[in-house]
Amino acid sequence: LLNEIRIGFLTKGFQSLSLLPYLFSWVILASIFRLIFSNSGPANEIIAWIGVDKPINWLSDDFWFIVVIIFTDIWKGIGIGAIIYMASIAAIPIELYKAAKIDGANRFQQIFYITLPQLKPTMITLLILSMGGFLSAGFDQIYNMYNPLVYDVADIIDTYVLRMLTNLNFEIATAAGMFKSVVAVILIMISNSISKRLTQGEQGLY
């Protein structure tokens, strides 16, 4: 969608705003979000303004903590994904679009029949790589934002391993870390195999 915006300053503005969060570490962002989602923070002030009397415990309620984690993760990561896709779009031969215009294709048809098919290798590569890090689930984000009240829903393998190491349970920490690595390799192999099958062997990491 950013690529289809024809007003130059809007495109650059959206790109800058979407990439900016990616440049900050989760240590900084977590401190900001803790203030935003505190009981007296801007988030609760907004819902009070729209008529909700009781403040929401964003970071101590299981459900709302997951909502906050998902929202902040998307907000931080959308910029780098947009840059990668826009770089891939820039590499698509312009002759394809010129030929499509001559044939009478409109903008939506160009997107569906030229842009998206040409982005398939990038999509598959990012999907396979994301599957490899599936169990990591953003250690920096979780570690800097969670607390004992939400361990049941927020704990991931990396934070569990760290807690076991802190408690000197080295055997359990090693086993959990090894389990994560093995599962990550299996997920990469499975996703790579599926991508090859769906593309008749044309797309895959290896």
pLDDT tens digit sequence for 79-103: 777 778 888 888 888 898 888 888 8
Tell me which of 83, 118, 153 is where a domain ends: 118
Cα–Cα distances in angstroms (integers) from residue 58 to residues 70, 102, 123, 154, in the given order: 12, 54, 33, 13
| 24 inside domain | yes
Both 19 and 60 in a single domain?
Answer: yes
In angstroms, the CA 182 to CA 177 distance is 9
Both 40 and 99 in a single domain?
Answer: yes
Tell me which of 71, 88, 118 is where a domain ends: 118
| 104 inside domain | yes
pTM above 0.75, yes or no: no
Q: Which two tokens stand for residue 24?
A: 């900050």
Q: Which two tokens stand for residue 62?
A: 């299981």
Both 148 and 105 in a single domain?
Answer: no
| 170 inside domain | yes
Q: What is the separation of C-alpha 88 from the centre of its chain, rounded to a whole number of angstroms?
A: 18
Both 109 and 26 in a single domain?
Answer: yes
Both 198 and 139 in a single domain?
Answer: yes
Q: Domain of 94?
A: 1-118
| 201 inside domain | yes
- Cβ within 8 Å of residue 124, ≥6 positions away: 195, 199, 203, 204
Both 114 and 143 in a single domain?
Answer: no
Angle between helices 157-166 and 170-198 (to 10 degrees): 160
Taking CB atoms within 8 Å and a gap of at least 24, the contacts of 119-125 are: 119/85, 119/88, 119/89, 120/199, 120/203, 121/88, 121/203, 122/84, 122/85, 122/88, 124/195, 124/199, 124/203, 124/204, 125/205
| 125 inside domain | no
- Report the CATH number at residue 106: 1.10.3720.10
How many domains would you assign to the chain? 2
Both 2 and 97 in a single domain?
Answer: yes
| 51 inside domain | yes
Tell me which of 69, 85, 118 is where a domain ends: 118
Q: Of 77, 93, 79, 86, which Cα lies nearest the Cα of 122?
A: 86
Q: What pLDDT score does 181 carry?
A: 84
Both 143 and 86 in a single domain?
Answer: no
Q: What pLDDT score does 63 carry?
A: 92
In angstroms, the CA 45 to CA 114 distance is 46
| 126 inside domain | no
Backbone angles phi, psi at 25, to 5 degrees: -80, 160
Q: pLDDT tens, position by position, for the chain (206 residues)? A: 555 555 556 667 776 777 777 788 888 988 998 999 988 889 888 888 888 888 888 888 889 999 998 888 888 877 777 778 888 888 888 898 888 888 888 888 888 888 888 888 888 888 777 776 667 667 888 888 888 888 888 888 888 888 889 888 889 999 988 888 888 888 888 877 877 776 666 666 66
Both 20 and 56 in a single domain?
Answer: yes
Both 29 and 112 in a single domain?
Answer: yes
CB 27 within 8 A of CB 144: yes
| 123 inside domain | no
